[in-house]
């Protein structure tokens, strides 16, 4: 039996349980828009049925349920353990940024305390509106990377935000590593676990979208869509960093 078969069977059971409850339409919707990722538990040799599980769901459904996402994860974990032979130790629910869909989006810069970042956001958005060629769209990816590098240099302080992995490179130019270390330091502890994962996923998504635009040639319609995703993800990441800054 394939992993997909296992996933579909577990989803079916979970959906039926929620339908029997009668007041869990939100959970049915979440399950129907989710994708599972199983990882072997560290003690898998002793407990071969033990796993950690991540649910990736579409961003709109994640944000709709954000305030109760930890409670939902506990309920789903308990039901899987009670209704299958699997032993789920940890279950996390995360947004799947790869399923971000944008239709006629109006992008608005995030107002931050850093005027240079504000100006660069505005320039990035205006360049998207003017772009008509492959070169234009690829330059948007480069511009987004420059903005993320500048905001990383602004908030990251090696003395305060030392990376957990001492081998991780956090010199200027490594914006993802710098921002991950910043996020880990400011959003430490179990109470910030979900926000921490969301913030780091947002940074990863910006880097991935920039890489895709600079290394792949697409038709112009696809390039415009990817450029829009890149701009939206950059502004969203800046919004999250700006919020974290206020929590320092």
The greatest distance separating any two alpha carbons of the chain, rounded to the nearest whole angstrom, comes to 59
Residue 40: enclosing H or E segment and its boundaries?
strand 34-40
Stretch 29-41: mean pLDDT: 88
Mind listing the pLDDT tens digit for each residue in 72-120?
999 999 999 999 989 999 999 888 766 654 444 567 888 899 999 999 9
**Average pLDDT value for residue range 140-159:** 94
Provide the 10 A C-beta neighbour count for residue 107.
18
Residue predicted with more confidence, 59 or 113: 113
pTM of the model: 0.59
Q: What is the dihedral of CA 171, 186, 197, 27, to 10 degrees?
A: -160
Question: Can you tell me the distance from the alpha carbon of 49 to that of 47, in angstroms, rounded to the nearest whole number?
Answer: 5
Instruction: Give the mean model confidence (pLDDT) for residues 162-173.
Output: 87
Run of H or E including 36: strand 34-40
Statement: residue 223 has pLDDT above 80: no
Least confident of 87-96, 169-178, 215-224: 215-224
- Neighbour-count burial of 33, counting CB atoms closer than 10 A to its CB (0-12 exposed, 13-18 middle, 19+ buried): middle
- Among 208, 183, 6, 172, which residue's Cα sits nearest to residue 88? 6
Query: And the tokens for 161?
Result: 């935000």
């Amino acid at each position: 039996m394939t992993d997909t078969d296992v996933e579909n069977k577990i989803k079916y059971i979970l959906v039926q349980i929620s339908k029997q409850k009668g007041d869990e339409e939100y959970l049915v919707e979440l399950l129907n828009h989710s994708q599972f990722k199983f990882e072997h538990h560290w003690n898998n040799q002793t407990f071969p049925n033990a796993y950690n599980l991540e649910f990736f769901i579409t961003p709109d459904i994640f944000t709709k349920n954000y305030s109760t996402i930890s409670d939902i994860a506990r309920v789903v974990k308990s039901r899987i353990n009670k209704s299958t032979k699997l032993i789920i130790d940890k279950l996390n629910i995360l947004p799947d940024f790869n399923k971000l869909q944008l239709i006629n989006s109006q992008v608005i810069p995030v107002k931050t305390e850093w005027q240079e970042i504000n100006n660069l956001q505005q320039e990035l958005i205006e360049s998207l509106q003017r772009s008509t060629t492959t070169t234009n769209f690829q330059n948007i990816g480069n511009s987004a990377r420059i903005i993320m590098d500048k905001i990383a240099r602004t908030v990251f302080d090696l003395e305060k935000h030392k990376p957990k992995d001492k081998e991780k490179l956090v010199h200027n130019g490594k914006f993802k590593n710098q921002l991950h270390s910043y996020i880990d330091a400011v959003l430490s502890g179990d109470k910030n676990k979900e926000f921490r994962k969301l913030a780091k996923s947002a940074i990863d998504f910006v880097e991935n979208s920039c890489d895709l635009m600079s290394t792949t040639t697409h038709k112009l319609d696809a390039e415009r869509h990817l450029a829009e995703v890149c701009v939206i993800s950059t502004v969203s990441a800046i919004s999250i960093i700006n919020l974290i800054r206020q929590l320092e």
